[in-house]
Structure 1
Amino acid sequence: MGYRTLKHCLDDLERHGQLKRIDAEIDPCLEMGVIQRKVYEAGGPALLFTNVKGCRFPMAGNIFGTMERTRFIFRDTLASIEAMVKAKTDPAYLFRNPSKLLKLPAAGLNILPKTVSSAPVMKNRIALKDLPQLVGWQKDGGAFITLPQVYSESPVKGGFRNSNLGMYRVQISGNDYAPDEAGLHYQLHRGLGIHHTEALAKGERLYVNVFIGGAPSMTIAAVMPLPEGMPEISFAGALGGHRIPFFRPEQGTAVYAEADFVICGYIDGTLKPEGPFGDHVGYYSLKHDFPVMKVTGVFHRDGAIFPFTTVGRPPQEDTSFGNFIHELTGELIPDVLPGVKAVHAVDPAGVHPLLFAIGSERYTPYQKQDEPKEILTQANAILGQGQLSLAKYLFITNHADNPALDIHDAEEFFTHVLERADWRRDLHFQTSVTIDTLDYTGHGLNKGSKLTVAACGEKKRTLPDRLPENINLPDGFDAPRVVMNGVLAVRAPKHTAPRGEYDPAMIRFCESFEADNPVNGFPLIVLVDDSDFTAANINNFLWVTFTRSNPATDVYGIGAFTHAKHFGCTGSMVIDARVKAYHPEAMEMDEEVIKKVENMAVRGGALEGFF
C-alpha cells in the first residue's frame, strides 16, 4: 500500500505509461530545466534522465506535473486521508458512512514513525560535488537542490514529536561556499527557524539532515503548511500508507532510512551569501546572507535516483503541490479559521502576493448586511495564520452574497468584489509589516505592507466592458486596454521614484480626473509598462499587478482622501504595477539553450513527442 521508495513509484508510473525515459545525454545546467518546464506546460509525463552530463546518478523530474498523476501516486491512501479530514470537520460523517471507519486504524497507526537499526541510504558515501549540479536559470548563483526535505528536531524537547520537515532550497555550489558547505535558505514562519533559535539560545549547533528522494509522501509532507507542533513525518506516514523508518546515528539527528540521498551536517550562527535563484514568483531572488550548513557527510542508497523540479513564473510543477494540498485539507479551513468558508492563494499571482477568501457575516443577523463587519475580523485571522501571513493583498467577500461564487475563478471573483466594493470604506492597510522573503516590492528584505479589500452587500454598480468614448488621458499615459469587466490597464511612463516613496506621476494621473469622468466607471485601474501584455489574459494581469506593487506606496485613488488615518477614494482605485528600479529581474531563458532543446524535439530527435 503506497510507495516506500522513489524507484518503486517511478517503476509503477512507467508501467502505467506515465513516465518516459530520456537516454540522450542531458546537461543539468539549464538544458534539463528547459525540458522539464516544456513537458510540464504540455501536460506531459514524468521524466527519467538516465544519462546526466557530468554525473553518474539518474535524475527524475515532472513527477507531480499533473494533478491526475499526483492523485494516481497517492491513490491507495486518499480515501483514508479523506476520512480523517471528514472525521475532524464532521464527526457524524463516520456514523453515516461506517465503512470509512475501517480506513482510520491503519492511517492512525502510520502516523507514528519507526526506528530501524540500519538505513539503505547510508550504504555509500560521496561528496557534495558528486551530486547532480542542477542549474535552473542562467543567472542562478550555483547549483541547487530543488526538492529537498530538510529535517531537524527541537534541541529543547527533541524527538520525532518535536521535529520539522520543510522544503527549504539548498545551494550546493557557487558563491563563497567551501566544498563541505551548503547554503540553507529558510524563510519567515518556518519550523526550522524555531529550532535554530532554540539552538542558538543554548549556545549549540543545530544538527540538520537534508533528505532527497524516498517515498513521494515525504516530498508532499515537506511542503505541507501544518500547524506548529504537528510533525510533518506523521502526515507523510498517513499519506504514504506506512510508518516512516528512521535510523539514529551516533552523532547528529535522525536519518530517513529509505531516502535516495542524505546530506548530514549542522548549522550554527555562520551566514554566507546565498543566491541568486530563479524563483517561483517569476523573478530572481537576489543574493542575501543565509545560514551555512556545515556538511559532515553525504550518502546515497544503491541505485539512487535524484528527483528535481525547476520553478519559474507560475503555473509550474509546484502548482500541483498547492492544488493537491488544498484538495486534502481545504475542508479544514472553517475549523482553523471560524467563519471562513474558503481561502485561495492565487498561483498565477505568485501565490503569496494575493489571497482570495470567502467569509461569513454572522455578527448581526437581525440587520441588513450592507457593509463589512465580521469578515474584517476573519481577514485579520487569515493574515495571522502561518504562511498566509506573508500575503500582500487579501480580497475577502461574504458567502451569503453569492453562495455559488467560485473562489478559484479569478475573473468571477474580481467581478463579484468590484461590483460591491466601496473604496471610501473598504480599503484596509497595514503599512509596515513582514512580507515574503522572495518579494522585493516593499521597503526592504521582508519589509512591506498589506491591503485587505473587504466587500459585501448588494451589487452597487454595473462594470463596463469597453472603453468610454473619447477617453482623455494625461500626457505620458496611453494605450488603455480593458483587462476584464471593470478593470483597465494603462501604459504609464517609466517609474522613477525612490524606494518607499510615492511617485508624483501617479498623483498627477489621479488628479487629472474629475469625479464625474467616465474613467471612474472602472473601479480598478492598473498603470503598467505594457498594457497590451497585461490585458492579454487574466494570468498576465494577476502576475503584473500583484508581483510588482507594494500596497502602501503603490495604491492610489482618484478623489483620494485620508480621514482619521483611513485612506479611501471617491473614484477608481489605481495601482502602480510598473517595474521599479529596485525590483529583481524577471527570469528569461537563454535562446540558444531553448533552440538546442527544441531541436531535440523534432522528428527523429531524442525528445520527439515530448512537447
Structure 2
Amino acid sequence: MGYRTLRQCVNDLLATGQMIRIDVPVDPDLEMAAIQRRVFKAGGPALYFASVRGCRFPMVSNLFGTMDRIRYIFRDTLDHLAKLISLGIDPADWLRRPRLLMKLPWWGWRAWPKLVRRGPATAHEISLRQLPKLRSWPNDGGAYITLPLVYTEDPARPGFAHSNLGMYRVQITGGKYDPECEVGLHYQIHRGIGVHHAKAIEMKQKLRVNVFVGGAPAMTVAAVMPLPEGMSELFFAGVLGGHRIPMIRQPEGLPIYAEADFVLTGYIEPKKLLPEGPFGDHLGYYSLAHDFPVMRVEHVYHRPQPIWPFTVVGRPPQEDSMFGKLIHELVGPVIPKTIPGIRAVHAVDAAGVHPLLLAIGSERYTPYDERKRPQELLTLANALLGHGQLSLAKYLFIAAGEDNPELSVYEVDDFLRHILERVDWRRDVHFQTCTTADTLDYTGGALNQGSKVVIAAVGKPRRTLPVALDSRIRIPEDLGFSDPRVMLPGILVVQGPPFSRNEQGEDENIKKFCAFYKRQDAINLFPLIVVVDDSEFTARTLDNFLWTTFTRSDPAGDIHGIEEFIHKKHWGCHGSLVIDARAKPEHPPPLVEDPEIVRRVEALAAPGQPLHGII
C-alpha cells in the first residue's frame, strides 16, 4: 500500500524498467537539468544519476514525468483519495466534529500522522556545503532545492492540524547568504506559509521551519496540492501514501519527517531579507532577484543511503505540468460543489497556468428570458477570483454551459472560438486594476502587482469567425506593423515594431495602430487581434500563441481596442479587441539554454551512451 521511502520507489521503478540508471559522471550545474528537460519532452523514464560531480549523493528526476508513471506510483491509493475528496471531509475538522468520522471509510483513518521517538532521517549530520548543488538555467543566481517540502506550524496553534507543507524554492548558494548557515526562502503570494509567517511577526517570534527533501512520493504531491487553508497536507499525504506519516517528536522545534532523505532545520530570521534569485521559472522567464525571507539553518541531516530528488521548471510543459494534470483530476470535480453554478475550470498550462483561466458556469438568474447578456456568470467570475489559488488568474474567460452542453474547458481552441463568436466588446470586458498578481508574473510592472480581466460571453453566436485573411484588410506598414497571420478562427496575429514608451509611459505605435481603423473596416471581421514581436513564431503552434499572448501582456496596460470608449467608468470598444503581447522593457528575459551544455547532453544520446534511444 504505497511507498514509505524514496528508495523503495526508486528500486521498484528500476526493477520495472520505468527508470534508467546513468553511471557516467553528470554535472548538477546545468547539465543535469538539460538532460531532464529532454527526457521529459520525449516522454522518457525516470532518471537515477549514480555519479554526481562534486557530490557523493545520487540524484533522481522525472519521477512524475508522465501521468502513467504517476498512476503507477500511486496505483493503490488514487481511487481512495478521489473518493475522500468527493466526500468533502476536511481531516482538520475531525477533532472539532467527531460525527464526521462516521462518514470516513476505514482506509481514511491512515490520514492521521503519528508522532514517533526516532527515525532514519536524522541518522547523519552534514553541512550545507555538502548538499547537491543543482543549477538549472545559465542565469540562475545559485544552486536551488527544487523539490523542497517546507514544513511550518501556526505559532498560535501548533500541531499537525494547523500545519503547512508547501513547495517553496530554496536557494542554497550564491547571493549574499552565509554559505554555512543561511538559505533563501522564496514563497509566492497566497501560500500557507505566509499565514504562519504573518502570525509569527504579529507575535514577535521566530517562525520555526523544517525543510525535508525526499521521502515518500506522496509527500511531494501533497506539498503542491492547493488544499483549503487550515487543512494539513500531512493528512493528504497519509491517504495518498497509504500509511500514516511518521513525524519525530522534538523537545524543541518542529517535528521532523522520519522518512525524509534530507532535513534542514532552523527558523526564518525576524526582519531579515536578502536578494533571492534570479531563477528560471515555470512561466518560461527568469524571476528576478528580490528581497525574500532568510532561513537560518541550525542542522542538516540525512538518512542512510539517501537520494536527492529534483525537478526542473521552465516554459510549459515541464514535469510540474504533470502535477497540474493530477490536481485537475482530483480537485476539478469538487469545484462545482465549492462554488455552486461553476461547472468546470481549467488553468491553462501552456499559458503558464495563472495567466489564463477558462471556466464554464450557469446562467440561471432569468431562466424565463432569452440569454442576452452575462448575469450570473459575472457573479461566478468574482467567486472564482476570490477562491484559493484561482484568485491569481490574470485572464478569465467564462462561458455559459447552457449555450453549448458539449463545450469543454480543455479544448482551448474550441473554447476560444465559442467565446469569440458571442462576445460583445462594448459590454463583456470587465477589469480589476491595481490588484495583486502572481509573484512570477512581471507584466504588471512590479512584484506581486498587476491587473485582471474577466471576459464573459453568453447567448447565440453574434458573428461567423473568419478562417483566412480577407483581401480588404490593410496593415499600417509605415507604422512598423507587418506579417498578419490567422492563428485560429477569429484571431489575427500581427507583427509590430519594438515596444517603446513615451513620457506618459505609453506606446504610441499601438495607439496609432488602433486609430488607423474604424469599426466598419474589414479587419474587424477578426474580433481578436494580438500584436507580437514575431508573428511567425506566435502563429506556429497553439502553445506558442497561448504562451506569448498571456505571459507578455497585462490586461489593464495592454488591452486596447478599435474605437474604444469609456462610459460610466466601463471600458469597451466598437471594433476588434487588441492585445499588445510584445516584450516590454520591464519583462525578464526568456529562458535560453547554454549551447555548450546542449552539445554535451546530445552526445549522451549517441550509440553506446546512456540516453541512446531515449532522446
Report what 2:98 is aligned to: none
Q: Residues 428 and 499 of structure 1: is their aligned pair in 2 closer, same or farther, counting only changes over 3 Å?
A: farther
The corresponding residue for 1:251 is 252
**Contact 1:314 1:350 (C-alpha < 8 Å) held by counterparts:** yes
Residue number in structure 2 paired with 1:534 = 538
Equivalence for 1:502: 506
The match for 1:442 is 444
Asked if the contact 1:561–1:569 (Cα under 8 Å) also holds between the matched residues in 2, the reply is yes
Q: CA deviation at 1:128?
A: 1.1
Q: 2: distance between equivalents of 1:298 and 1:404?
A: 54
In structure 2, the partner of 1:93 is none
Identify the residue that residue 57 of structure 1 maps to in structure 2.
57
Take 1:509 and 1:107, find their aligned partners in 2: how far apart are those partners? 62
1:157-556 to 2 correspondence within 5 Å?
157-179=157-179, 180-267=181-268, 268-474=270-476, 475=478, 476-497=480-501, 501-556=505-560
Is the counterpart of residue 24 in structure 1 residue 24 in structure 2?
yes
Deviation of the 1:473 alpha carbon: 1.2
| Residue 97 (structure 1) aligns with | none
Query: CA offset at residue 607 of structure 1?
Result: 2.0
What is the Cα deviation at residue 343 of structure 1? 1.0
Following the alignment from structure 1 to structure 2, what is the Cα–Cα distance between the partners of residues 447 and 297? 36
Provide the C-alpha distance between the structure 2 equivalents of 1:587 and 1:78, rounded to a whole number of angstroms. 35
2:131 is aligned to 131
CA–CA separation in structure 2 for the residues paired with 1:511 and 1:563: 19
Deviations 1:271-303 (A, max 9, x none): 100000000000000000000000000000001
**Distance in 1 between the 2:247 and 2:342 partners?**
38
Question: Is the CA contact (8 Å cut-off) linking 2:562 and 2:578 kept in structure 1?
Answer: yes
Q: Does the aligned pair in 1 maintain the 2:502–2:508 contact within 8 Å?
A: no
Residue type at the aligned position of 1:522: F
Distance 2:49 2:605 in 1: 15
Q: Tell me the residue number matched to 1:76.
A: 76
The one-letter amino acid paired with 1:119 is: G
Partner residue in 1 for 2:581: 577
The answer as to whether partners of 2:473 and 2:521 remain within 8 angstroms in 1 is no
CA contact (8 A) 1:37 1:310 kept: yes
SS of 2:592's equivalent in the other structure is coil
TM-superposed CA distance for 1:370, in Å, is 1.8
Q: Residue 338 of structure 1: CA displacement? A: 1.3
SS at match of 1:228: coil
Equivalent pair of 1:154/1:162 in contact (CA under 8 Å)? yes
In structure 2, relative to structure 1, the CA distance for the partners of 1:270 and 1:499 (3 Å cut) is farther
User: Deviation of residue 386 (structure 1)?
Assistant: 1.5
Any idea what SS the aligned residue of 2:301 has? strand
Tell me the number of residue pairs that the alignment of Structure 1 and Structure 2 aligns.
600
SS in structure 2 at match of 1:603: coil
Give 1:103 shift. Answer: 11
Runs of 4+ in 1 over 6 A off after TM superposition: none
TM-score, length basis structure 1: 0.97
Structure 1: distance between partners of 2:474 and 2:537: 22
How far is 1:104 from its partner?
5.2
Show the counterpart of 1:45.
45
| C-alpha displacement of 1:6 | 0.6
Q: How far, CA to CA, are the matches of 1:303 and 1:500 in structure 2?
A: 61
Inter-CA distance 77–283: structure 2 relative to 1 (3 Å threshold) = same
Paired amino acid for 2:511: I
**C-alpha contact 2:34 2:598 (8 A) present in aligned 1:** yes
Query: How far apart in 2 are the matches of 1:409 and 1:556?
Result: 26
- 2:138 counterpart SS class: coil
8 A contact 1:443–1:499 mirrored in 2: no
Structure 1 range deviating more: 199-208 or 290-299? 199-208
How far is the alpha carbon of 1:444 from its aligned partner? 1.2
CA deviation string 1:489-516 (max 9, x = no partner): 1010100116994322111101101211
Q: After superposition, give the CA deviation of every residue in 1:387-406 in whole Å (9 maximum; x if it has no partner).
A: 11111100000011111112
- Give the superposition deviation at 1:325: 1.0
* Cα distance, 1:102 vs structure 2: 13
Cα distance, 1:132 vs structure 2: 0.6
Deviations 1:354-395 (A, max 9, x none): 100111111111111121000100000100111111111000
DSSP-derived class of the 2:201 partner? helix
Q: Distance in 1 between matches of 2:573 and 2:29?
A: 50
- Secondary structure of the residue aligned to 2:377 is helix
Partner of 1:607: 611
Amino acid at match of 1:86: S
Unaligned runs of 5+ in 2: 90-100
Determine the structure 2 residue equivalent to 1:92.
none
Amino acid at match of 1:126: I
How far, CA to CA, are the matches of 1:443 and 1:139 in structure 2? 21
Q: Give me the whole-angstrom Cα distance separating, in 2, the residues matched to 1:566 and 1:605.
A: 62
Q: CA deviation at 1:88?
A: 3.7
- The 3 A distance-change label for structure 1 pair 499 and 554 is farther
Task: Report SS of the residue matched to 2:342.
Answer: coil
Q: Give secondary structure in 1 for the equivalent of 2:389.
A: helix
CA distance in 1, matches of 2:546, 2:83: 35
Deviates more, 1:175-184 or 1:361-370: 361-370
CA–CA separation in structure 2 for the residues paired with 1:109 and 1:269: 41
Question: Identity across aligned pairs (percent)?
Answer: 57
Residue type matched to 1:428 in 2? H
Report the Cα distance in structure 2 between the residues aligned to 1:102 and 1:45, rounded to whole angstroms: 42
Query: Aligned pair in 2 of structure 1 residues 557, 42: CA closer, same or farther (>3 Å)?
Result: same
Q: CA deviation at 1:602?
A: 0.9
TM-score for the superposition, normalised by structure 2:
0.96
Distance 1:569 1:470 in 2: 21
Amino acid of the residue matched to residue 105 of structure 2?
P
Which residue is 1:98 aligned to? none
Cα separation, 1, equivalents of 2:80 and 2:326: 15
Q: Which amino acid aligns with 1:254?
A: P
> In 2, distance between residues paired with 1:312 and 1:191?
24
Contact 2:20 2:47 survives alignment (8 Å): yes
Deviations 1:16-48 (A, max 9, x none): 211100010000000000000000000000000
Matched, 1:597 2:601: yes
Which range moves more in the overlay, 399-408 or 542-551?
Answer: 399-408
SS at structure 2 position matched to 1:341: strand
SS of 1:400's partner is helix
For 1:33 and 1:82, how far apart are their aligned partners in 2?
33
Distance 1:609 1:500 in 2: 56
Cα distance in 1 between the residues matched to 2:200 and 2:314: 34
Gapped regions of structure 1 (runs ≥ 5) = 90-100
CA distance in structure 2 between the partners assigned to 1:561 and 1:592 by the alignment: 52
Letter paired with 1:296 = E
Q: Indicate conservation of the 8 Å contact 1:79/1:103, yes or no.
A: no
C-alpha deviation, 1:84, in angstroms: 1.8
Kindly provide the amino acid, as one letter, of the partner of residue 6 in structure 2.
L
The one-letter amino acid paired with 2:412 is A
What's the CA shift for 1:538? 0.5
Q: CA deviation at 1:465?
A: 0.4
Q: How far apart are the structure 2 equivalents of 1:294 and 1:220?
A: 26
